[in-house]
Amino acid sequence: MRILSDRMAEQGSRQDRGSHVTELESCLAGLAVAAWRDYRLWGRFFELFHGAMRWIQFPERQWPRGGEATIMPDNNRGCVVWLTGLPASGKSTLARALAAKLHVRGRSEVLDGDDIRAHLSRELGFSRADRETQVLRIAFVAQLLARNDVFVAVAAISPFREARDRARAMIGRMLEVYVATPLDECVRRDPKGLYARAIAGDLRDFTGIGQPYEPPLEPDVILDTSTMATDECISRIMTKLHTLGYLCVGRHWDNGAPVRGRGQSRTIRST
């Protein structure tokens, strides 16, 4: 009887252990199912966490250069280079060349006034009020890009000082570049034939002919593409960006090779 009692007790203990194991397996299976169902939620959480890490600013970082570690501030944040000048003065050419130069330091974009008008300002004309609205729209897009660490090259006539000043106030980190190519040279170039039409009276409110252009009083850089090559112009802009602290010289080698991965340089173009 004692032996039978011991065997029954042992069997009961095994059943209890089996019951616990079954309950544990059920619990784990339930957790696995819940995790599988909510994997998108967790994936979104880690995506947001990874994105939030971009905004954590460390005061100093070490970047290897020439075999030695140097401590450099992280100044390669976004900024806006605003090129203003008469039509056909060379603004778009300089903007594209500048974006190509800057893309090794991060993402870069070109905002061309003609393309913005074709896509975002189709309803606007060329009156003073409409031109100011156009400038402010470009400034709004530019500051959105710049605050997300994008280098922005704006090529826009932007003929009125007040609108340009409002754009600078909106953007903050902005370099104003006056492309001071003489009117005679712009008329000679006339790549779209607009000067000829304006002189013939077919185009009203054309900047430089039927509507005045107000040069900047204190631009950060002055360029004349009739006497300066594109590379020289870009070199002066880059030098000024370094001087103002918008670019960190030590973070990249002098030959332009980046320490971190290359970004992308894109231009918003008409289709």
Tell me which residues are annotated as active site: 158
Picking from 130, 149, 106, 146, the residue whose alpha carbon sits closest to that of residue 207 is 130
Q: How far apart are CA 88 and CA 194, in angstroms?
A: 10
Number of neighbours of residue 149 by Cβ within 10 angstroms: 14
| Chain-centroid distance, C-alpha 169 | 18
Which residues is 153 bridged to in the sheet?
81, 110
- Closest to 110 in 3D by CA, of 271, 270, 266: 266
Alpha carbons 130 and 204: distance in angstroms, whole number:
14
Q: Which residue in 252, 260, 256 sits closest to 66, CA to CA?
A: 252
Residues ≥6 apart with Cβ < 8 Å to 270? 114, 115, 118, 119
Q: Which helix (H) or strand (E) holds 80?
A: strand 79-85
